[in-house]
Amino acid sequence: MKPGDQVQGGETADETREEYHLKAEDGELHSQNVLLNGKILLADSDGNIPILEPIKVDASKPIYVHPLSIVFAHIPSIHPPACL
């Protein structure tokens, strides 16, 4: 694929994607706390991280990435040729 090529996938009507928005607590890059979709991620007493719950978004809508954050998006209906 070249930049600008269209990725083939299913119709986006009635389809959703899963988004995982990560950012530092209070926007402070030196914070030791990380938020996932606005909720703090804390390990339990054994050091295990919690289940990472995505937010569901209409797949036809743009992905918004706020400053100083990272977004991972899982789009089940898209099958890029490089991943087949």
Asked whether residue 32 is assigned to any structural domain, the reply reads yes
Question: Which residue has better confidence, 77 or 36?
Answer: 36
- DSSP conformational letter for 83: G
Cβ contact 60:76 at 8 Å: no
Asked whether residue 3 is assigned to any structural domain, the reply reads no
pTM: 0.74
Question: What are the residues whose beta carbons fall under 8 Å from the beta carbon of 11, sequence distance 6 or more?
Answer: 77
Asked whether residue 8 is assigned to any structural domain, the reply reads no
Domain range for residue 68? 16-43+52-74
Positive or negative CA dihedral for 25, 50, 73, 13? negative
Task: Tally the domains of the chain.
Answer: 1
Question: Which residue has better confidence, 8 or 57?
Answer: 57
Asked whether residue 11 is assigned to any structural domain, the reply reads no
Q: Is the pLDDT of residue 35 over 90?
A: yes
Asked whether residue 84 is assigned to any structural domain, the reply reads no
Question: Which residue has better confidence, 42 or 84?
Answer: 42
pLDDT, averaged across the chain: 83
